[in-house]
Amino acid sequence: MNESLLDMIKQGTDKPILRSKHIEELVPEQKVVETEPKKLMADKVFEIPLISLSEWFLENSQKVDSIRVAKVNMAGINPKKTIIVAVPEARGEKDSSSDVDTKEVMVMKKCLQKQVINLAPSQIDIFDHDIMRIIYPCTHDIFIKSYCLKTGLTNVFCLKVDQCLVPYTRDRIKKGAKTIIVPVPDPEYIKERLAKPADVQKIHLLYKQVEKQMNLIKTNMEAIVWLNSRQEGVIDVNHLMQLDDTIIYIMSEA
């Protein structure tokens, strides 16, 4: 089975912070993929509080090796509202440069207003225009990929199956919310779905790049492993969300 970026996510917090120079200033609304909650979900949920981005950085910046929060005293600048971080220099999807030690400064604004999930991260991706993706280990097998957009949070809930993160649903959290509700999946039903034959024609309608792989993909699991592998090196948050939505569609189809 092909190894992918998400296959490598573990409980540790030593994943790099990445950023992109090439992204739309305002991420457009993605199409919401409806799932079948009675099948995909168990009749359980749990709640996790939200916290300001300012407080979250204070608590978690030391837990990620590649992040460096600069302590700069500047007249008229509230360090709780504006956070300056040093992150690995942005690299394009096709850039083969191996100079991972090069850093650049990123300014994150309105950090007291922005909310994130109050958990330690396993990975952080930082894009231009105050857009982030944070991946959280929620339990031993439930992960959350949280997209911090200008319009609020979009959370993608994933079940870890054989070292592969399988998105099963997502929701949007409006500004001002205090908590998120995590829907607990039905692992047995999801594993049954993963073993079923893949409908590559329908997948192709959602993700055109699968065309060259259509004869090689036989099961839903093989499709999802390939789609997850496509997230490696992606610097466009719209592309990342399209891949997540395609997997959610696969899992929700009867």
- In the 3-class helix/strand/coil scheme, how is 185-240 assigned residue by residue? ECHHHHHHHHHCECCHHHHHHHCHHHHHHCCCCCEHHHHHHHHHHCCCCCCCHHHH
Q: In which band, very low, low, confident or very high, does the pLDDT at 9 lie, cut at 50, 70 and 90?
A: very low
Does residue 30 belong to any structural domain of this protein? no
**Res 45 pLDDT > 80:** yes
Give me the amino acid identity at 11: Q
Q: Look at residue 184 and tell me if it is in a domain.
A: yes
Q: Is residue 100 assigned to a domain?
A: yes
Tokens of 247: 């997997």
Work out the pLDDT band at 98, boundaries 50, 70, 90.
low
Mean pLDDT of the chain: 80
Residue 1 lies in a domain: no
Q: Is residue 57 over pLDDT 90?
A: no
Residue 208's contacts (CB-CB under 8 Å, 6 or more residues apart) are: none
Q: Does residue 33 belong to any structural domain of this protein?
A: no
Write down the pLDDT at residue 97. 56
Q: How many domains does the chain have?
A: 1
Q: How confident is the model at residue 28 (pLDDT cuts 50, 70, 90)?
A: very low
**166 part of a folded domain:** yes
Q: Which domain holds residue 18?
A: 6-24+38-252
pLDDT at 66: 67
Higher per-residue pLDDT: 126 or 247: 247
- Give the best-scoring range by mean pLDDT among 18-22, 23-27, 237-241: 237-241
Q: 70 vs 161, which has greater pLDDT?
A: 161
Does 235 or 110 have the greater pLDDT score?
A: 110
Highest mean pLDDT among 15-29, 75-89, 179-193: 179-193
Q: What is the pLDDT of residue 62?
A: 76
Say how many CA atoms lie within 13 Å of 17 toward its Cβ: 26
Inform me whether the pLDDT recorded for 95 exceeds 60: no
Q: Is residue 31 part of a domain?
A: no
Contacts of 167 (CB under 8 A, 6+ apart): 145, 156, 157, 158, 244, 247, 248, 251
Q: How confident is the model at residue 32 (pLDDT cuts 50, 70, 90)?
A: very low
Please enumerate in sequence order all residues whose Cβ is within 8 A of that of 4, keeping only pairs 6 or more positions apart, or say none. 164, 225, 228, 229, 231, 232
- Find the mean pLDDT for residues 12-30: 43
Q: For position 107, what pLDDT does the model report?
A: 83
- What's CA 16's distance to the chain center, in Å? 13
Residue 141 has pLDDT above 50, yes or no: yes
**101 pLDDT exceeds 50?**
yes
Residue 32 within a domain: no
Provide mean pLDDT across the span 232-240: 86
Half-sphere exposure (CA, 13 Å, Cβ side) for 64? 28
Q: Compute the average pLDDT of residues 183-202.
A: 94
